Amino acid sequence: MSIQIGQQAPDFKLVSSDRTEVSLSDFKGKKVVLHFFPFAFTSVCTTQLCTMRDNFGYYDGLNAQILGISVDSPFTLAKFKEEEHYQFPLLSDFNKDASSAYGAIYSQFAFGLKGVSKRAAFVIDEEGQVIYAEVLEAASDLPDFEAIAEKVK
């Protein structure tokens, strides 16, 4: 079951694309937008993160941090971030702990792959409470970017 609005967001420690450890608690006092995505370099995942990249300026001055999370390795995410010019951290949930804690994981995915992050978006307020939660079953669907922006505002 995925995390619901009003719940305390589970903390995590993940390795970023620049190979540093990042925790959700590092951003206490800021709103955090978590974007879970299945795989780097795939078309819908690229669209999801490029939409956030292209609207990144919207979040300036709103005391908000965007984080992208997938089960890809930090090395794959580093290349993805470099090629797509993302201004926000990409975090490796290689061990699937965060995806599982947020209920954003496929037990069975395409090609028989197991333990792949679902496409999902969460907005967490300055005190660590979930104020927006969207977990998509179809990997071809995109999150509601307008609803996310509205919750950050």
For residue 67, CA distances in Å to 22, 27, 78 come to 10, 11, 14
Q: Running DSSP on this structure, what letter comes out for residue 99?
A: H
**Tokens 């037990």 correspond to what residue?**
107
User: Which of 128, 140, 108 is closest to 37 using CA atoms?
Assistant: 140
pTM over cut 0.85: yes
Cα distance between residue 36 and residue 105, in whole Å: 9
Is 45 among the catalytic positions? yes
Domains defined for the chain, CATH in brackets: 28-152 (3.40.30.10)
Given this model, what pLDDT does residue 1 score?
A: 60
Catalytic residue among 3, 45, 90, 91: 45
Instruction: Give the pLDDT confidence of 7-61 residue by residue, as tens digits.
Output: 999 999 999 999 999 999 999 999 999 999 999 998 888 888 888 888 766 667 7
Given this model, what pLDDT does residue 2 score?
A: 73
Pairing of strands 105-106, 116-117: antiparallel
Pairing of strands 64-70, 90-92: parallel
Instruction: Give the pLDDT confidence of 47-71 residue by residue, as tens digits.
Output: 888 888 887 666 677 889 999 999 9
